[in-house]
């Protein structure tokens, strides 16, 4: 869910993955974070939060976009099967 929340905040800020990742990590690493394939370090989370003008805590708040939440739940169910 962390990755989905970062993606939601990135889209709200109208940033591409390239825009957000620039100077911090590679675009492909950000993609992996957003897909939930890797867990970023706290240092990376801090830098991403600065670019997104939010706090690291905001990454752990409930996803407000219901479609995005539904997509994540479906993905997790498919993975579990």
**Which structural domain, as residue segments, surrounds residue 59?**
2-80
pLDDT of residue 26: 97
Tell me: the pLDDT tens digits for 11-68? 999 999 999 999 999 999 999 999 999 999 999 999 999 999 999 999 988 655 667 6
For the chain, the domain total comes to 1
pLDDT of residue 75: 80
Structure token digits, residue 75: 């993905």
CATH number at residue 72: 1.10.260.40
pLDDT of residue 74: 82
Q: Which of 25, 26, 31, 41 is nearest to 6 (CA)?
A: 31
Residue 70 in contact with residue 76, Cβ under 8 Å?
no
């Amino acid at each position: 869910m962390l990755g989905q929340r970062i993606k939601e905040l990135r889209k709200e800020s109208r940033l591409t993955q390239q825009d957000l990742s620039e100077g911090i990590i590679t675009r492909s690493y950000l993609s992996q974070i957003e897909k939930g394939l890797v867990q970023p370090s706290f240092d990376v989370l801090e830098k991403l939060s600065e670019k997104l003008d939010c706090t690291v805590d905001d990454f752990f708040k409930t996803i407000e976009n219901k479609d995005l939440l539904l997509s994540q739940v479906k993905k997790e169910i498919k993975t579990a099967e």
